[in-house]
Amino acid sequence: MERLQKVIANSGYTSRRKAEELIAKGQVKVNGQVVRELGVKVSSSDEIMIGFDVLKKENKVYYLLNKPRGIISSASDDKKRKTVVDLIDTDYRIYPVGRLDYDTTGALILTNDGELTNLLTHPKNNIDKLYIAKVKGLIGKKEVNLLANGVVIDGKKTSKSKVKIRRYDKKTNTSIVELIIHEGRNHQVKKMFEAIGYEVIKLKREQISFLNVKDLKSGEYRILNPKEVKKLYFEATK
């Protein structure tokens, strides 16, 4: 027996958070009865319906994509723009784990595993994300320390991060900065640099936990193997 929202998420239908919203709105039925309580447990023999759809169990699939610039980090887009899901050749209903901005490139996981998605995106689980930012200006040690100790964005201080200057280019007056964070707030990296007076020109997420996209060209993806999936679960629950 498992909680209803977990079963829905594990089926690949949607994330656990969204499943909880659907239950609370009375859009989920178990054996023909509307269920609104999040603590309800169901078995594999129970029939679950979401709206008019009978929930079907799917095999879990996991992809690592090197997201190009100009692609939407979503399963669909009402403006008919190309999304990250459009780049993956699969018959499964997958969605991105978290998001990258339209003009941000790099590592993005896509899956139909709602439980793993919830674990990887929850800030308490401290999943490291490594970004490489090209910024206007030559950043000094004082600014590096400010970023590392946390800056206030949107009225709330960011958690501590790891910051390293990779190189300077005095001719173009730019800096290449490596930044490791575990939060996932909206436009966080850009806002962090903005808070110390620097504009991000280019941004790439090079790594999520132990997964990097160094061997993937822009727009390329690969399937994660079972050992990698198991390690992601371990990293998110340790």
Q: What is the pLDDT of residues 16-63, one digit of tens each?
A: 889 999 999 999 999 999 999 998 999 878 899 999 999 987 788 999
SS3 96: strand
φ/ψ of 162, rounded to 5, equals: -105, 130
Q: Report yes or no: 123 and 184 within 8 Å, Cβ to Cβ.
A: yes
Residue ranges of domains in the chain: 2-54, 62-123+212-237, 128-208
Could you check whether 2-54 and 62-123+212-237 share the same CATH topology? no
Task: Check residue 29 and give its pLDDT.
Answer: 95
Alpha-carbon span 222 to 154, nearest angstrom: 36
One CATH from 3.30.70.1560, 3.40.718.10, 3.50.50.60, 3.40.50.720 for 128-208: 3.30.70.1560
AA identity, residue 28: V
Task: Check residue 78 and give its pLDDT.
Answer: 86
Query: How buried is 176 (Cβ within 10 angstroms: 0-12 exposed, 13-18 middle, 19+ buried)?
Result: middle
Q: Where are the beta strands (DSSP E) in the chain?
A: 2-3, 28-30, 33-34, 41-42, 48-50, 53-54, 62-67, 95-96, 105-111, 129-136, 152-153, 156-157, 162-169, 174-181, 200-208, 211-212, 221-223
Choose the catalytic residue: 46, 77, 101, 128.
101
**What's the whole-number average pLDDT of the chain?**
93
Least confident of 3-7, 55-59, 189-193: 55-59
Q: What is the pLDDT of residues 91-103, one digit of tens each?
A: 888 999 999 999 9
Q: The tokens of 136 are what? A: 């206007």
Task: Check residue 43 and give its pLDDT.
Answer: 83
Q: Give the residue from 23, 236, 43, 8 showing the smallest Cα distance to 114.
A: 8
Task: Check residue 113 and give its pLDDT.
Answer: 86
Domain 62-123+212-237, what fold? Alpha-Beta Plaits (3.30.70)
CATH for 2-54 is 3.10.290.10
Q: Report yes or no: 67 and 108 within 8 Å, Cβ to Cβ.
A: yes
Model confidence band, residue 115 (pLDDT cutoffs 50, 70, 90): confident
**Annotation marks residue 128 as catalytic:** no
Alpha-carbon span 19 to 142, nearest angstrom: 45
Beta bridge partners of 29: 34, 49
Q: Give the residue from 110, 121, 116 showing the smallest Cα distance to 224.
A: 110
Q: Is the pLDDT of residue 192 over 90?
A: yes
Alpha-carbon span 197 to 63, nearest angstrom: 36
Beta bridge partners of 200: 135
Task: Check residue 96 and give its pLDDT.
Answer: 95
Model confidence band, residue 122 (pLDDT cutoffs 50, 70, 90): confident
Q: Give the residue from 186, 180, 129, 114 showing the smallest Cα distance to 155.
A: 186
